Structure formats: C-alpha cells, structure tokens
C-alpha cells in the first residue's frame, strides 16, 4: 500500500518535471525554426528630443509571432535564445531588418533618424561582430551615423578592456554608441570616461517614481550632471506620464522614450512620427 502510494506520488511529480523540460526543449526547437519560418518581427519605439519636441530616433525591439502561443515579447524568449546561442542569428536578423527599414524610410523621403539595435553580451562578444555590422551597413547602403548600438551596462563591465577596444572600433566606423539600463550595472566612472559613448539610457526603475522619490531624483540628477560633463547625451527610458516628462525636461535630460509617446509599434505605424507635419506635442506639450 505504502509502496503503491509512493509510486503514485512519484508519478504525480515526474510528469510535471518532464513537462518543464519538454516545454523548454519544444521552445528551443521552435526557436530554431522560427527564423526560416520568418516568425520574428521588429517593432519600433520612438525617442523624443525634449528640446525640439520631435521624434529623432527609435529603438528596434524584436517580437515573436509564435504559431501556438501568439505574440511573444522578448522576456519570453530572449533568455533561452541567449543560453542556446540562437540570439546570434536572431540578432543578425534584427540588425538587418532595422537597417533596411531605416534605408527604406530615407528613400521614401521621410526624415532621417537614428535607429538603435540592442546587443546582448553574447552578441557583443562575437569575434566577427565588427565585420558583420560593416557588411550589413555596406550592403544596405545606410550611413553608419543612422545606426546606434545599445549594450547594457552589465555586459559592458564583463570585460572592460574588450569593451573599450570594440567600442572604439565601432566609433571609427561612425556608428552611435549607447549604454542601456544605466544605473543598474555598477560601472565605474573610470570605465565610462574611456568609452566613446554618445548616449546613456537611464534605467526605467529610476524614472518610475522620479516625481516623488528623493532617492530616484538624486540618482538621476547625478547621472545627468556626470554625463553632460563627459559630453554624453541622456535618454530616460520608461516615461509614462507628463509629470515625469516635465520633471526630466526641467532637469535637462535630452531625450525620452516610453508609453507616454508610444509603445513599440510596427514600422507602418511608426511612419506617422516621421511626417514633417506630425506634431506629437499638440497633445502632450504645454511648456516651451
């Protein structure tokens, strides 16, 4: 009887474990096939310049139109893609899609904007990354000044010497460079000073309570003062309210990105932000 129960318990437990392992394996297989099946797409989230009130760029963010599970956001598949190395071909796809899209917009006579592409640590450490990016820009015919690469602060500090060397090579090509999720990764001032950066993106965790929380305010003020002294532009991520936007404008943050302006959207939808007569500020902007 006891043996029987024990076995039943064991049986109850095992399928669950198998379920998890099976789910992972299934997901990995599907991830492998997703590229050739063209299930990935790139969304664009506008970046707004706080001086002019105009959209001056966008961040490319990948999505997966999964055949069974529907529309998946990066948090649901990027970690597995990083573990399996599949982030490399997926990342290549995003880079090419974003560059081609930007070239199309320019060829259509829409305003020239800079599009940023995220690089995971795994991608950033690829030996042939520089060749890959150069090849893409040449083939597409896009001016390197219209491409920005974002690496997270935590991947920048994994191997500081390598980061300095790689970023300097990218800078020579004329590509824009940005540190993402800044404030969460404990990089040193010494390192920042040696990196040829154009932009720092303040992590959204510091923006959430910016209008009320004294600690967030102190951190953001320190980051803004420091970057401006180093000649680096600041982008605030995760701006959701007008009050956050006004606070950031008052404190001389350069650009904002967040649901207040727009969530990440499909390329066709993004085009309206590039029309010369498009005034995003007619409904958000009240101070000059």
Binding residues for Mg ion, rule: CB under 5 A, are: 118, 150, 180-181, 237
Token pair recorded at residue 267: 């390329």
Residue 237-256 contact track with ligand C2E, rule CB under 6 A, x = bound = xxxx----------------
Collapse the DSSP code of 182 into the 3-class scheme (helix H, G, I; strand E, B; otherwise coil) and give the result: strand
Told to check if 13 binds ligand C2E by CB under 6 A, we report no
Neighbour tally for 136: CB within 10 Å: 18
CB of 257 vs ligand C2E, minimal distance in Å: 6
- CA nearest to 237, candidates 215, 214, 263: 263
Residue among 227 and 244 whose Cβ is closer to ligand C2E: 244
Q: Within 13 Å and on the Cβ side, how many CA atoms surround 41?
A: 13
Strand partners, 147: 115
CB of 84 vs ligand C2E, minimal distance in Å: 13
Residue among 30 and 203 whose Cβ is closer to Mg ion: 203
Q: Which of residues 220-239 bind ligand C2E (CB under 6 A)?
A: 237-239
CB of 43 vs ligand C2E, minimal distance in Å: 7
CA distance 88 to 95: 10
| Tokens 């010494």 -> residue | 190
Q: What is the DSSP string of 43-94?
A: EEEEEEETTT-SEEEEEEEEEEEETTTEEE-GGGTHHHHHHHSTHHHHHHHH
Query: According to CB under 6 A, which one of 28, 39, 66, 74 is a site residue for ligand C2E?
Result: 74
Strand duo 55-66 + 40-49: pairing: antiparallel
Helix (H) or strand (E) holding 17: helix 2-34
Residue among 97 and 113 whose Cβ is closer to ligand C2E: 97
* Site residue total, ligand C2E (CB under 6 A): 24
Told to check if 57 binds ligand C2E by CB under 6 A, we report no
Told to check if 155 binds ligand C2E by CB under 6 A, we report no
Told to check if 46 binds ligand C2E by CB under 6 A, we report no
Q: Which does 193 bind (CB under 5 to 8 A by kind): ligand C2E, Mg ion, none?
A: none
Q: 214 phi and psi, to 5 degrees?
A: -60, -35
Q: Which does 74 bind (CB under 5 to 8 A by kind): Mg ion, ligand C2E, none?
A: ligand C2E
Told to check if 62 binds ligand C2E by CB under 6 A, we report yes
The region of 86-94, 165-173, 220-228, 248-256 touching ligand C2E under the rule CB under 6 A is: 86-94
71 conformational bin, left if phi > 0, alpha if psi -120 to 50, beta if neither:
beta
Query: According to CB under 6 A, which one of 32, 79, 259, 269 is a site residue for ligand C2E?
Result: 259
Told to check if 71 binds ligand C2E by CB under 6 A, we report no
Q: CA-CA-CA-CA torsion for 63, 64, 65, 70, nearest 10 degrees?
A: -100
Q: Where along the sequence are the contacts to ligand C2E (CB under 6 A)? A: 45, 61-62, 73-75, 78, 87, 91, 94, 118-120, 123, 180-181, 204, 237-240, 258-259, 264
């Amino acid at each position: 009887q006891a043996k029987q129960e024990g076995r039943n318990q064991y049986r109850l437990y095992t399928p669950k474990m198998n379920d998890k392992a099976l789910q992972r394996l299934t997901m990995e297989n599907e991830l492998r096939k997703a590229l050739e099946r063209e299930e990935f797409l790139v969304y664009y989230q506008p970046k707004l310049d706080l001086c002019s009130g105009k959209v001056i760029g966008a961040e490319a963010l990948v999505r997966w139109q999964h055949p069974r599970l529907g529309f998946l956001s990066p948090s649901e598949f990027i970690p597995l893609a990083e573990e399996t190395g599949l982030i490399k071909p997926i990342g290549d796809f995003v880079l090419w899609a974003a560059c081609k899209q930007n070239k199309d917009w320019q060829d259509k006579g829409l305003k020239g904007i800079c599009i940023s592409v995220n690089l995971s640590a795994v991608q950033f450490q690829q030996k042939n990354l520089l060749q890959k990016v150069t090849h893409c820009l040449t083939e597409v015919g896009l001016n390197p000044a219209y491409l920005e690469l974002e690496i997270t602060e935590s991947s920048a500090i994994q191997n500081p010497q390598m980061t300095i060397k790689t970023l300097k090579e990218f800078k020579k090509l004329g590509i824009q460079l940005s540190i993402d999720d800044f404030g969460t990764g404990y990089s040193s001032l010494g390192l920042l000073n040696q990196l040829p950066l154009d932009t720092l993106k303040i992590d959204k965790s510091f923006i959430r309570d910016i209008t009320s929380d004294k600690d967030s305010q102190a951190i953001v003020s320190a980051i803004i003062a420091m970057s401006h002294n180093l000649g680096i532009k600041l982008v605030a991520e995760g701006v959701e309210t007008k009050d956050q936007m006004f606070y950031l404008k008052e404190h001389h943050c350069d650009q904002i990105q967040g649901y207040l302006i727009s969530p990440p959207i499909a390329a066709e939808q993004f085009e309206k932000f590039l029309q010369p007569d498009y005034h995003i500020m007619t409904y958000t902007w009240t101070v000059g």
